[in-house]
Amino acid sequence: MNESLNGLDRRWKLECNPDRLTCELRFVSFAEAFAFMTQVALLAEKLDHHPDWRNSYSLVVISLTTHDAGGLSERDFEFARNVDQILTR
């Protein structure tokens, strides 16, 4: 499973029990954090895959799992790769 992290941003971590792919992102302001979240929300609708996440001021924590599968699936890793593309724009 660790190999699945290959190529992803180093901030992505695999968590076990429950299995999740998580990422903590610190932005310079709430406005920057929320602008990022807006892009991720559009991505979620496009991919029909939705993050569990939280925001506290300039911090965004994304936690990915596939509810339909009751755990991680390739859809979570694909979603993470797309989030990385938003981060490098």
Distance CA 75, CA 34 (A): 23
Which one among 10, 45, 48, 89 touches ligand H2B, defined by CB under 6 A?
48
Assess contact for 22 and 62: CB atoms under 8 A.
yes
Of the candidate residues 30, 67, 74, 85, the single one contacting ligand H2B (CB under 6 A): 67
* 20 touches ligand H2B by CB under 6 A: no
CB-based contacts of 36, cutoff 8 Å, min separation 6: 25, 27, 60, 86, 87
Coil, helix or strand at residue 3 = helix
Question: Per CB under 6 A, which region of 3-11, 17-25, 29-37, 48-56 contacts ligand H2B?
Answer: 48-56
The one among 9, 66, 71, 87 contacting ligand H2B by CB under 6 A: 66
Contact residues: ligand H2B, CB under 6 A: 48-50, 66-68
